[in-house]
A and B are shown apart, each in its own frame.
Chain A
Amino acid sequence: MPGSGCGERVKRFDVIEHTADTGIVAYGADLKEAFANAAYAMFSLMADLECVEEKVCRQIEVEADDRESLVVSWLNELLYLLDVERIVFRRFNVVELSDTSLKAEGWGERLDATRHNLKSGIKAATYHMLRVAKDSRQHSIRVIFDV
């Protein structure tokens, strides 16, 4: 399932095979976009984001020791918000990004099992096979989830 959502032409992420779990590689013209797409990919594994509306907005700030850990902190922060505030996010804007901190806005709405076509939940983003990379064309983030 190439994850080009919302009719966009540029591929936002790929799902990668991992026996017990599920992983993604998210892409972006810059690193901010790759971080946003990684979050989008994670939520699209759990719900049909086409059915999710943008009713609430959250400011999200996370810190970590390095860029890779920042990916895990970012995604796990969103899973925390999903569990505690029950927000399914569908759009992200990464406002500030350094190697050790991230500020972003996320839009979505409260989880609704009757409308969101919920799939299996994700327990956590892991450090396993974690990679933040850049080639001549784009930035990419690979992360494996514990499902």
Chain B
Amino acid sequence: MARWEGPLNKIGEYRWEIPKSYKQGMRVPGLIYASEEMLGSIREEQAADQVANVAFLPGIVGRSLAMPDIHWGYGFPIGGVAATRVDDGVVSPGGVGYDINCGVRLLRTNLHESEVRPRLEKLLSELFINVPSGLGSTGKIRVGKREMEEILTQGARWAVKRGFGAKEDLEVSEEEGCLKGADPDKVSTRAKERGTPQSGTLGSGNHFIEVEVVREIYEPAAAGVMGIDEVGQVLLLIHTGSRGLGHQVCDDYVRTLRDAMRRYDIEVPDRELACAPVQSPEGRDYMAAMACAANYAWANRQCIAHWARECFVRVFGKSLRDIGLEMVYDVAHNIAKVESYEVEGRKLKLCVHRKGATRAFPVGHPDVPSKYKQIGQPVLIPGDMGRYSFVAVGTEGAIRESFGSVCHGAGRTKSRHAARKGVRDADVAMELASRGILAKAASRGGLAEEASEAYKDVAEVVEVCHRAGLCRKVLKTYPMGVIKG
């Protein structure tokens, strides 16, 4: 792949601008958050060009942004953030991606590493059996037509109503696990057909369940509010999205919006940037369908968390109350949301696209749950399965310059194919085991594809965001056991 030789002008610490002059048609400049050391690998692929392409979207304000975990996607780069005016701007399904509301959910326990280690293998086996994962896996829940509509409109609330988890879970979830404006009539029958058997499944690819242990705490007070008090405490992290239902919604609307774009006389440099005015019938329909897919994903993570809790109860022979497993937070990292920001002195209603980026709201923001009003919204940033993950909190800095957004993970540096070449799953598992990490994968090649070598060091990614003032690091965790889809 050709190296990207375009301009990256330093406009501040960790801030590199692609000027509007780079490509005719850019409405705003691009901006990549990165350290100087990261620029080399960023230039190795065409992700920066995608940042510039996103700047073509009608109604885009501020800059077309990319977080330090930027890598080459389709249409938008992964790690991309773009805000468009709701009044006269567009929404683009490519700015959300095929896995709508792919996201992460973190639960804390009262268990210490020393208690979990001896039963870790048993715990992983239980999780592996009780959470359907891998290609073609089907859920344990039978969902009828009417129930599917409830999932699409109520999200995690539907799951709680059905007995999967507790009401308190909803309070500490982005949008309380239910995005408003969902209209199941805007979701195709095909999408619903794909979603029906997959409700309550992990999926494959980079989706996972991870048992992890707190390694370092940077802000004890903030960690304490999250129920995390000491190094050695065990946490549970779940990463999955909206499965075939979300993929179909994206595919359907990329097609619909591509047609609509001609009618609205919009031109974009990449087919995957297909878009329509937020206020057009097509734009509204997409937003309503996307909300359904987002809710499906929240219901999915809610069900999986419930089964994970059951596994812990069985393996440790204690009550759920004793084990803990309360939710810390649940964030979406592929989504478009209507939010208000001040742009050039004016308060504007914006459609914020986050594709591989996490919402990061600060202390006092009205959308931060009351529990976290004093510390800011928790931001969950998983790394690769062989290294570590981070929990951070949102800051005013993110509100001022990145539309309340921050990075979402490590970001790949190697393709899946390259990662798999000459590497056997068994070797990866053995290497991980030598460092105290147990890993199980449903898919052949699943461990090799997701090995640490295929990813950037998430610590560097988080450090850039922390130093750029987009979030504050609260704690770091180390993986103990991983189930890969």
**Interface residues of A, Cβ cutoff 8 Å to B:** 1, 15-22, 46-48, 65, 68-69, 72, 76, 79-80, 82-84, 86, 111, 113, 117-121, 123-124, 126-130, 144, 146-147
Residues of chain A with a CB closer than 8 A to B190's CB = 80, 84
Residues of chain A with a CB closer than 8 A to B36's CB = none
| Count of residues in B whose CB is under 8 Å from the partner chain | 51
CB distance from A63 to the nearest CB of B (A): 11
Question: Known: A83-B198, A119-B443, A119-B446. Is A46-B205 also a contact (CB below 8 A)?
Answer: no
Asked if A19 and B444 make an inter-chain contact with CB atoms under 8 angstroms apart, the answer reads no
Interchain CA distance A144-B203 in the complex, whole Å: 20
Asked if A46 and B247 make an inter-chain contact with CB atoms under 8 angstroms apart, the answer reads no
Residues of chain A with a CB closer than 8 A to B424's CB = none
CB distance from A137 to the nearest CB of B (A): 24
CB distance from A74 to the nearest CB of B (A): 12
Q: Which residue of B lies closest to A86 (CB)?
A: B136
Interface flag for B481 (CB, 8 Å)? no
Residues of chain A with a CB closer than 8 A to B443's CB = 118-121
Interchain CA distance A47-B445 in the complex, whole Å: 11
Query: Apart from A111-B136, A118-B204, what are 4 other A-B pairs with CB-CB below 8 Å?
Result: A16-B417, A118-B442, A120-B446, A130-B271
Interface flag for B229 (CB, 8 Å)? no
Interface flag for B63 (CB, 8 Å)? no
Asked if B98 and A119 make an inter-chain contact with CB atoms under 8 angstroms apart, the answer reads no
Asked if B205 and A147 make an inter-chain contact with CB atoms under 8 angstroms apart, the answer reads yes
Interface hits, B263-316 → A, CB 8 Å: 270-272, 274
Tell me which of B10-18, B248-256, B376-384 binds A.
B248-256
Asked if B194 and A146 make an inter-chain contact with CB atoms under 8 angstroms apart, the answer reads no
Asked if A20 and B71 make an inter-chain contact with CB atoms under 8 angstroms apart, the answer reads yes
Interchain CA distance A130-B45 in the complex, whole Å: 17
Select one of A80, A118, A126 contacting B272, CB under 8 A: A126
Q: Which residue of A lies closest to B195 (CB)?
A: A83
Asked if B271 and A82 make an inter-chain contact with CB atoms under 8 angstroms apart, the answer reads no
Interface hits, B225-248 → A, CB 8 Å: 244, 247-248
Residues of chain A with a CB closer than 8 A to B135's CB = 46-47, 111, 113, 118-121
Residues of chain A with a CB closer than 8 A to B446's CB = 119-120
CB distance from B268 to the nearest CB of A (A): 11
Asked if B417 and A146 make an inter-chain contact with CB atoms under 8 angstroms apart, the answer reads no
CB distance from B169 to the nearest CB of A (A): 27
Interchain CA distance A141-B247 in the complex, whole Å: 22
Residues of chain A with a CB closer than 8 A to B98's CB = 123-124, 126, 146
Interface flag for B20 (CB, 8 Å)? no
CB distance from B405 to the nearest CB of A (A): 19
Select one of B251, B274, B412 contacting A124, CB under 8 A: B251
